[in-house]
A = this chain, B = another copy of it.
Amino acid sequence: MAKKTVELGEAELAVMRALWEGGPQTVRDVLNRLHERGKTVAYTTVLTFLTRLEQKGVVASDKRDTAYVYRARISRQSVTTSRIKALVDQLYDGAAAPVLLHLIENERFTPDEIAQLRKLIDDLDAGSPE
């Protein structure tokens, strides 16, 4: 059944990133992580986000000792997928190629990344029956 693509705002994403990168954490942990990243925000703001995110079903929490521990229930990959889909749909009516080409032309990549990219393309060629 269709996981109805939840849209996340920028600040919400920052919280998700804290969870993705630091694993299950308490509100305070997330707060500290955001502060380290230069994002100064109030404790209750983080709490609000985590609560909302839980309501949206993208994070879960368990009581651990005195405080709740929150963890991500969706992967960064899946968010990437829906974000890209939105972008591609809204700007190019679903055609991904222009976006792909745009990325290659406008961003900088290391030789390693280029090599990896080339390999992927070879695989694409090889493994695309029908």
Q: Which B residues touch A96, using CB under 8 A?
A: 103, 107-109
CA distance in complex: A121, B122 (Å): 12
A67 on interface, CB distance cutoff 8 Å: no
Interchain CB contact (< 8 A) of A124 among B14, B100, B109: B109
Q: Which B residues touch A23, using CB under 8 A?
A: none
CB distance from A41 to the nearest CB of B (A): 15
Asked whether, in the complex, the Cβ of A98 is within 8 Å of the Cβ of B80, the reply is yes
CA distance in complex: A22, B59 (Å): 43
CB distance from A2 to the nearest CB of B (A): 17
A102 on interface, CB distance cutoff 8 Å: yes
Q: Which B residues touch A87, using CB under 8 A?
A: 80, 83-84, 87
